[in-house]
Each structure stands twice: as C-alpha cells, then as structure tokens.
Structure 1
Amino acid sequence: MTTVAAYAAPAAKAPLERTTIERRDVREHDVLIDIQYAGICHSDIHQAREGWGEAIFPMVPGHEIAGVVTEVGSAVTRFKVGDRVGVGCMVDSCRECESCKAGREQYCERGQVGTYNAVGYDGEVTYGGYSQKIVVDEAFTVRIPDGLSLDVAAPLLCAGITTYSPLKRFGAGPGKKVAVVGLGGLGHMAVKIAHALGAEVTVLSQSLRKKDDGLKLGADHYYATSDPATFTELAGRFDLIVSTVSAPLDFGAYLSLLKADGTLANVGAPEEPISLNLFSLIGGGKNLAGSMIGGIAETQEMLDFCAEHGIGAEIELIEASQINEAYERVLASDVRYRFVIDTATI
C-alpha cells in the first residue's frame, strides 16, 4: 500500500478537507498514475452531498483524471512509464456480460465500478482523482493524445464522453439540427463536439447571458428558454436535443421542439423525479432517451476525435484549497466552464 495526499468529504454535505488515503500496490495488470489534473464535475457535488442517495464516506471525488504513468504491472501491454493517460468515471466491470463484450462497460449487467464512491469487486472502497496518485487496471485507462494538453483534457474524461456518446449514437452530423440545453460544463462540450461533427447547433439556455460564448464555441443559434416565444418559433425544428441540465424540465415543451422521429437525450441527472404526458411522445413518434458516459473504446475514440479537431474543455485552473469555493460557484453557475484542480497543490 502507498499513502498519498488527497481531498475528501468526511461526511455528507461537509466541506472537503486535506487528508491521506491508501492506494493498493500495483498488480500485474495495473498502472500507477501520477495525477496532474482533476476536473470538478457537478456529479461530484451530487454525490458528496448525497443528492443521489446514500454515499460512502470519507469520499474522495473526482472522475476526470489526467496524468502520467509512473509504474506498470508485470503483465501490462498497453502502457509504459511516461505515457500520458486518463481515467474517467469507472475503473472496472465484469468484462463478461453482453454489454461489456460489446464495449459498453458503462452498462455492465453486474454493475460497473465507479472511480469513487463505490466498492470494487475486491471489496475495497474506491477513491477518486482529488489525490496525488491512483492505481487503475490498464483496461480502464485511456491514452491522452499528444495534441491535447493534460489540463484541458481532464474534463473530457466525463464531460467530453458524456456528450460525445449520445451525439454519435443519435446521428449528429451534416444536415442534422441539434439543440443543446444548457451551456455549462457538459453543454459547452456538447456544442464544441456537435459543431465538429458537422451539425447545425442551437443552444437553449435560460437567458442570453452566455450568448457570445455559445457562438464562439461553435453554436449557430442561441435562444432563451425563459422567453415563451422560443418554443413557438422553434416548434418541430430539431432532429436531436441533448439536455445537459441537472434540473427538472418541462419535457412536453422540449419534446415539441423535435421533428417527427426526433430524440431528446438526457445526460443531466436531476435529483428530483420528472413527470411526462405521454401524448408529447406519441404525437410525432418521438423518443425520450438517456445516456451515461461511454465505454472505454468509445472514450478513446472521443479523445482522438478531440485531438484531431483541437477540442479541449474551457477551464478555470484552481488550487486544491479552492475546492469548496469551487463547489459553491458550480451551484451558482459561476464557472466558464469547468474547474480543474492542479493536483500539485494537494
């Protein structure tokens, strides 16, 4: 075991504080990663404050991890010391079920093992990226291309793949009209990726406050959802809507913006349940879908795509001592567009 410094929430809703944790010794298929940057995801806040249900404490959040390999196990074949790598939202799965064999480990039938706030198949609690080092099986480690700097690459391990996966799955591309609901940590990546895929991109946000940003990021159009005229003007406009917000929406209103056979894909996860009049789906044969990150192969595909198109996250680099302040600013929508921790400051 190796002792490393980390930032942890000691209890639900408690401020995160500096502590130490134990990392396992490197096993034959493991890589030891010197973490250099860790993104702050809204999911970290949901879990640290038990917004999604009972959690495991102390909790070291962080599933947007970028760093460098410093040790490899005896059977490792994919990586060597010095490689630039990333770790996303999961660190293991059964690898035997239909989903795992199809490269969709995120939907593992036995249950994928989260990078933090989870218990691995070995019975050990997982701790995430707000720490100096992490030990991960090479099968759940991805290579960060040289064209991406590690700080802007870190958020791609969640925000990037969470938006890339549904955009690819539901056919965003030339000739398609795609709307992105919300321009935050997830939404700004959805805009960049949808634009790079060749789609016509519209941002739907509560106000026009971030309109200039949205257009610079690649949006063709920008509308305020607080204006009722938006829903009248855009009725039947879109092939695909990707909702990135973590607050309940009027799903009937957003479904009305789809063309026949269009899809509203949700990647944001509100803490509260939603209600839905099924006639808003039946009329027009529309689809209401969900999507959760992507498999390991798709995550690598996303990183390669982003490197090819010069896509990184828009970040605000912070010191570890600013994590609690950053959490409050995320809740206040006061970040453009992803906080990233310089883990050298832990």
Structure 2
Amino acid sequence: METTAIKAYGNEAADAQLTQLNINRRKPTPHDVAIEILFCGVCHSDLHTARSEWGPTIYPCVPGHEIVGKVVSVGDHVSKFKVGDVVGVGCMVDSCRECEYCKEGLEQYCEPGMTGTYNSPDKNLPGNPTFGGYSESIVVDENYVLHIPENLDLAATAPLLCAGITTYSPLHHWNVGPDKKVGIVGIGGLGHMGIKIAKAMGAHVVAFTTSESKFAEAKRLGADEVVLSKDAEQMAAFRGKLHFVLDAVSAEHDINAYLSLLRVDGSLALVGAPEHPLPVAAFSLIVGRKSFAGSAIGGIQETQEMLDFCGKHNITADIEMIDIQNINQAYDRLLKGDVNYRFVIDMISLKNKNV
C-alpha cells in the first residue's frame, strides 16, 4: 500500500523519552478520510502505553487518541464527510464489524478486539502498529470518524473523545437523569467530565474527594454537594442514598466504602483503572442487591451521541494547552496529578518548531 512520511512524536523503548520522529501513513483508500490534526488530548493511557505499563507496547509508539482535526481529503466512496469538515477520532480506528457487539454498535467490546488508534496491529500496513494523534495527520475509515459540533471550542473538545465518552457511556447506560442522586468519585481528568455530564443529564450530583481544596472546584464544575471521603461522618450521611456511583479513581481505595452509599438495586461503575485488585466484601453487594460494574469508552454511535449532547449543553473539558515539545514534562506532571484537568497539545507546534 502506498504511504506518505509525516512528522510525529513518539518513543522507541519503554525507558525512552518521546522525541520527534517520522512515521508512514497510508494514502487514503476509497473509504478513508485524511485528517490534519489540530489538537490532541493527553490521556493517562498514553503515558502507560508509552512506558509499556499495560502489557507489551509495540515500538515505535506514537500515542494520542483524543484527536480533533480538519478533513483535507476523502476517498471516492466516502459519503459522511467532506473536505473542510471539523472531525474527531477517539480510541479506536477499526473493529471486525461482524461480531454481535460490532453489529450492536458496541465496537469497543469487539470480540476479536477493536483496532486501537495506537499500539494495535495495523490491518492496512501489515507488520506495523497503528500510530496515534501526536502527529501531523491521520487517515481513518469514515465509519470511525466523528462530527464535532460547531459551537464547541476545538481544543477543549479533544478530551471528550476519551474522557468524555468514558464517563458519558456508563451514565447513559445506567439511566442517570432527573430524580437520580449520583456520586462521582475523584475529581480529575475523568471525574471532572463525569460531574459536568451527570449534571447536564439532570441528576443531583454528589462529588467525593480526598482533598478539601477541591470543594470549590467541584461546585464550579456543577456538583450539588461535595463530600470529603476521608471524613467518616460525612460519608455516613450518604449511606444508602445514591442511585448510582461513577468511580473515576485509578489509585488503590476502599471500594466497599462507596458500595455502602448505594440504595437498594444501586450500581457502582468503575472507569478508573487501579493497578492492583480492589477487595470487595460479599456483604457490600448482597445486602441491598447492589451491582459492581465496569465500563470502557463507548461505541461510535454512542460517542457521536455524546458529542452532540455536549454540543447541546456546551460541555467541554477544562484544559491546559501545551506544545508537543513539552510532552515529557507534561507526562511528569500527569504522574503527580499536576493538571487541571487535561493537557491538550496544540499540534501546530509540531509543524512550526524543530527539535
């Protein structure tokens, strides 16, 4: 297949920093959309993958799956997009399209496995991995490209392609809405989106944090109430009160403390990814017929629904813009939790500056 060399940022080994390198993108086939990347969010998954912490990484690795860009060309058979459209690409660029989950619009749970935007075998260029959004451009099948609402700030929209759908999908699946009292655990990249989206869905939102310094922030983001999770008395006040809890914490924590907050038939969905297993006491579930679940991103149709929902309610992420040349420092800050609440790379920096 014919390819074009472009500039990108990535690394060649788990202990290597990200640097500028050249990668090959396929030239558009009849169903492809070629996209000039304008902004790319920085997800914690990028860091884990670059450092080979979530299983073996295929090197060279070019991370980035929160992509917003402009269509520069389309294949002859493309019907959903035209040159000049502002579009998004999220965590996947393909799937088998034939299994029951793909047919149900749940491509993220594709039985053979979805094709990740980066660090997956590239079906179109055998022997190569897919390369993500820390790059000048990307070529994606039109069925895995998304329309971006015109009214949203483009840079602040980029994190919706992962953080937005990761929180929207479980909130939507568990029917969060008016007359529902919903807990959001953790006020970070995921949690701050969870608060905004749950509030826009009409729920009464209770934010849980280990830091009193985040009380005002949680209220600003839309929380109706804020609870210091280290305070047993504050936690006890919500025992058995919540219909649903979205847990966005990736550090080790006592999951039973949050299961105790659920009403009968309540559910807790984990979207954070703690490194070690979280012990669950049987009676945390048995008493009250409670459910402990997990959720991963969303399918293409649901991701488009999320973007349209955010467009309707004018929801974007709170971001800090960086140049691509500062990505290694951003990773160091990400490890310390030193970001409010999502880094976004202005990809013009890749074109305008040399290493």
User: TM class by shorter-chain length?
Assistant: over 0.9
Asked if 1:234 is matched to 2:238, the reply is yes
Of 269, 276, 296 in structure 1, the residue corresponding to residue 273 of structure 2 is: 269
Query: In the alignment, what sits opposite 1:60?
Result: 62
Do 1:181 and 1:204's aligned partners in 2 also have CA atoms closer than 8 Å? Answer: yes
Question: Could you say what the CA RMSD is over the residues aligned between the two structures, in angstroms?
Answer: 1.0
Counterpart CA distance in 1 for 2:234 and 2:20 is: 46
Asked if 1:314 is matched to 2:318, the reply is yes
Which amino acid is the alignment partner of residue 217 of structure 1?
Answer: L
Number of corresponding residues: 346
Which amino acid is the alignment partner of residue 185 of structure 2?
Answer: V
Counterpart CA distance in 2 for 1:11 and 1:290 is: 31
Do 2:210 and 2:230's aligned partners in 1 also have CA atoms closer than 8 Å? Answer: yes
1:119-198 pair list within 5 angstroms: 119-122=121-124, 123=126, 124-198=128-202
Is the deviation greater in 221-230 or in 14-23?
221-230
Asked if 1:247 is matched to 2:275, the reply is no
* 1:245-303 alpha-carbon deviations (Å, 9 max, x no partner): 11122111110011111111011112222222222111110001111000001111100
CA apart distance, 1:17 = 0.9
Query: In the alignment, what sits opposite 1:327?
Result: 331
* 1:313-335 alpha-carbon deviations (Å, 9 max, x no partner): 11101101111111111111111
Which amino acid is the alignment partner of residue 299 of structure 1?
Answer: T
Which amino acid is the alignment partner of residue 195 of structure 1?
Answer: K
Query: In the alignment, what sits opposite 1:303?
Result: 307
Of 79, 86, 89 in structure 2, the residue corresponding to residue 87 of structure 1 is: 89
CA apart distance, 1:58 = 1.3
Of 287, 292, 296 in structure 1, the residue corresponding to residue 291 of structure 2 is: 287
Counterpart CA distance in 1 for 2:120 and 2:250 is: 22
Counterpart CA distance in 1 for 2:116 and 2:108 is: 9
Change (3 A) 1:211 1:104: same
Counterpart CA distance in 2 for 1:216 and 1:244 is: 18
Do 2:199 and 2:223's aligned partners in 1 also have CA atoms closer than 8 Å? Answer: yes
Counterpart CA distance in 1 for 2:280 and 2:27 is: 49
Do 2:184 and 2:247's aligned partners in 1 also have CA atoms closer than 8 Å? Answer: yes
Do 1:211 and 1:222's aligned partners in 2 also have CA atoms closer than 8 Å? Answer: yes
Counterpart CA distance in 1 for 2:37 and 2:58 is: 22
Which amino acid is the alignment partner of residue 35 of structure 1?
Answer: I
Query: In the alignment, what sits opposite 1:118?
Result: 120
Alignment identity in percent? 54
Counterpart CA distance in 2 for 1:239 and 1:100 is: 30
Q: Which runs of 5+ in 1 are unaligned?
A: none
With normalisation by structure 1, the TM-score equals 0.98
Query: In the alignment, what sits opposite 1:343?
Result: 347
Do 2:30 and 2:75's aligned partners in 1 also have CA atoms closer than 8 Å? Answer: yes
Which amino acid is the alignment partner of residue 163 of structure 2?
Answer: A
* 1:194-229 alpha-carbon deviations (Å, 9 max, x no partner): 000000001111111111111011100111112222
Which amino acid is the alignment partner of residue 46 of structure 1?
Answer: H
Query: In the alignment, what sits opposite 2:14?
Result: 12
CA apart distance, 1:53 = 1.5
Which amino acid is the alignment partner of residue 244 of structure 2?
Answer: L
Is the deviation greater in 205-214 or in 294-303?
205-214
Query: In the alignment, what sits opposite 1:96?
Result: 98
CA apart distance, 1:121 = 3.1
Do 1:208 and 1:222's aligned partners in 2 also have CA atoms closer than 8 Å? Answer: no
Change (3 A) 1:273 1:51: farther
Query: In the alignment, what sits opposite 2:38?
Result: 36
Which amino acid is the alignment partner of residue 224 of structure 2?
Answer: D
Asked if 1:201 is matched to 2:229, the reply is no
Do 1:92 and 1:120's aligned partners in 2 also have CA atoms closer than 8 Å? Answer: no
Do 1:207 and 1:223's aligned partners in 2 also have CA atoms closer than 8 Å? Answer: no
